[in-house]
Copies of this chain bind each other. A is one copy, B any other.
Amino acid sequence: MADGAHAHDEDMEPAEILSTIQRAVRARGVRWTGQREAIIGTFIDQDRHLTAEELHQLVRAQDATISAATVYRTMNLLVEIGMAAKRHFNGDSASFDLTIGKGHHHHLIDVDSGRIIEFKNDEMEAILATIAEQYGYRIACHKIELFGVPIDEPPAKSAPDE
């Protein structure tokens, strides 16, 4: 099958993702509140990596009473039920991104602009599975981050020291 690198092929549509999460949340016996719907809905609509603070800013635009604490609690809930992943791209604050409704994808980070490109590649996945197997493991999940320098870029200053 396709084993070249694809951007994200297809994803579930926002409404479907939201209702799936809602079901998952309720299935856990956890309540579905207006705040959670606003926060998670916004998160889904943005369709990108967000820090808790960024998400809080966005959510405040539609409901100024929502607190940062609730945003943190909601994101942690999503991570706990496996619908989102927490990552540290920088050293300071954590970024979250949806894991549901999107195929397995990884990140190619433009070291000049900081832009994050998502990709996936079956051949690579296969090799990783093989490697894990050699050590006696079955992969539960994985994170891949490539830091790249644009090829067509004019000659950069010098040696990228990080």
Interface residue? A31 (CB, 8 A): no
Chain A count of residues within 8 A CB distance of the other chain: 47
B131 adjacent to A146 (CB under 8 Å): yes
Given contacts A80-B162, A162-B80, contact A135 B119 (CB under 8 A): yes
Interface residue? A127 (CB, 8 A): yes
Could you tell me the dominant secondary structure of chain A's interface residues?
mixed
Closest to A159 in B: B82
Q: Could you tell me the distance between the alpha carbons of A131 and B118 in the complex, rounded to whole angstroms?
A: 11
Q: Could you tell me the distance between the alpha carbons of A65 and B8 in the complex, rounded to whole angstroms?
A: 53
What's the nearest-Cβ distance from chain B to residue A22, in Å? 18
What's the nearest-Cβ distance from chain B to residue A87, in Å? 8
Closest to A148 in B: B137
- Give every chain B residue within 8 A of A94 (Cβ-Cβ): 88, 91
Copies of this chain in its oligomeric complex: 2
A80 adjacent to B161 (CB under 8 Å): yes
A149 adjacent to B137 (CB under 8 Å): yes
- Give every chain B residue within 8 A of A117 (Cβ-Cβ): 135
Interface residue? A2 (CB, 8 A): no
Q: List 27 A-B contacts (CB under 8 A).
A: A4-B134, A5-B130, A5-B134, A88-B91, A88-B94, A108-B137, A111-B140, A117-B135, A119-B135, A121-B127, A123-B127, A124-B124, A127-B127, A128-B146, A132-B146, A132-B148, A133-B151, A136-B150, A136-B152, A137-B146, A137-B148, A138-B148, A140-B147, A140-B149, A141-B147, A144-B144, A144-B145
